[in-house]
Amino acid sequence: MPGAFSPPWALVVWCFLCGTLAHAQTIDRPDPASMAARVQACVACHGAQGRATREGYFPRIAGKPALYQYHQLLHFRDGRRRYGAMSELLQHLTDDYLREIAGHFAALDLPHPPTPSITLTPAQRERGEQLVRVGDAARGIPACASCHGQALVGIAPALPGLLGLPRDYLNAQLGAWRVGTRRAFEPDCMARIAKALDEEDISAVSGWLANQPMPASTLPEPALTQALPMDCGGVPAAEARR
Ligand code: HEC
Ligand code: HEC
C-alpha cells in the first residue's frame, strides 16, 4: 500500500529541503559567528581574542597592523617563517581568507597585561636603549624607532610594534633572521639589521624592549611621515619614500 510509505518519504523530502535551506542561508547571509569559528584554532595558542601574555612565548596578535599580519600568515604558509603547527593550519588557506583573518585580529583594541620585570645590567640597559633610540652607525644599524615608530607601537599598515612581546619571542625572531629561518619580502631590511647585531646586542635590546611599560595608546601610528632609513620589502614603497 503506497500510503504506508508516505510518512518516511515526506520526512526525506522535508529533511532534504531543510538541509538545502540551511545551506542557502550560510551562503546568502554569512553567519556572524563564522569568523569566531574560523579563528578558534588560533586563540588556543594566541589567547582569547589574540591577546596572549607578555610571558611565555606566543606573540600577541591583537591590534598588530593588518598588512604586517597578513604578510606573516603568507610567510608561514609559504615557508619564509617556520612554525610547524601554524604552517600546517594555514597550508590550504587562500590569500583572501588570510587577509580577512589578519583584518579581524588587527581591528581588536584590547588592554595589555602588566609589564613583566626583567633584570638587566646597567650596561645592557644602556646598550638596549642606544640601539632603539640612536642605532649604531658604525655597524650600519639604524635606530629601531626610526622604522617601528617613536613610541615603538608600529606604523600602519606594515610595520609592527615592538612592545608587549615576550623577551624569548624577540630573541628568537632576531636569531631566526640571522640564520635565515625567518625571512621577509626582499629587500629584507630586518635580516641585514639582525646580522649586524651580535648576541649581546640581541640580549640587551630584547630585554630593554620587553621591560618597557605600554604607552597610553598602543594603536599603531596611522602612516609613515618620513622615509625609512633602509628599503624594506612589503612596506608600501610610495608611501615610505614620499
Ligand atoms: C600551536 C600554537 C599556534 C596556533 C594554533 C596558531 N599560532 Fe600563530 N603563532 C604561534 C607561535 C609560537 C608563533 C611565533 C612563531 C615564531 O617563532 O616565529 C606564531 C606567530 C603568529 C603570527 C606572527 C606574529 C608576529 O608578531 O609576527 C601571526 C600573525 C599568527 N601567529 C597568527 C595566527 C593565526 C591567525 C592563527 C589561526 C589561523 C594562528 N596563529 C594559530 C603559535 C600558534
Ligand atoms: C629600516 C627599517 C627597520 C629598522 C631600522 C628596524 N626594523 Fe624591525 N622590522 C622592520 C620591518 C619592515 C619588519 C616587518 C618584517 C616582515 O614583514 O616580516 C620588522 C619586524 C621586526 C620584528 C618582528 C616583530 C614581530 O612581532 O615578530 C622585530 C622583533 C624587529 N623588527 C626588531 C627590530 C629591532 C630590535 C630593531 C633595532 C635594532 C629594528 N627592528 C629596526 C623594519 C625595521
Q: 46 CB under 6 A from ligand 1? A: yes
| Crossing angle of the two packed helices 199-211 and 122-133, in degrees rounded to 10 | 90
| Domains in the chain with CATH codes | 31-111 (1.10.760.10), 113-242 (1.10.760.10)
Q: What is the pLDDT of residues 22-62, one digit of tens each?
A: 333 344 444 546 888 888 889 888 887 777 765 578 899 99
pLDDT at 29: 43
Question: Does residue 21 register a pLDDT over 90?
Answer: no
Please write the tens of the pLDDT for every residue from 100-133: 999 999 999 888 888 888 999 999 999 999 999 9
User: What is the number of other CB atoms lying within 10 angstroms of the CB of residue 62?
Assistant: 22
Tell me, using a 6 A CB cutoff, whether residue 89 lines ligand 1.
yes
Task: Answer yes or no: is pLDDT of 221 > 50.
Answer: yes
Q: Tell me what pLDDT residue 113 has.
A: 84
Residue 43 Cα to ligand 1 middle (Å): 9
Kindly report whether the peptide bond that precedes residue 213 is cis, defined as omega within 30 degrees of 0: no
The pLDDT, as a whole number, for residue 53 is 64
Which atom of ligand 1 is nearest to 182's Cα?
A: 18
- pLDDT band for 237, please (50, 70, 90 cuts): low
The structure's pTM equals 0.88
Write the single-letter amino acid at 36: A
pLDDT digits (tens, 9 = 90+) for 160-219: 999 999 999 999 999 999 999 999 999 999 999 999 999 999 999 999 999 999 998 899
Q: What spacing in Å lies between the alpha carbon of 189 and ligand 2's midpoint?
A: 8
Ligand 1, atom 33, residue with closest C-alpha:
42
The residue assigned the cell 610610495 is 238
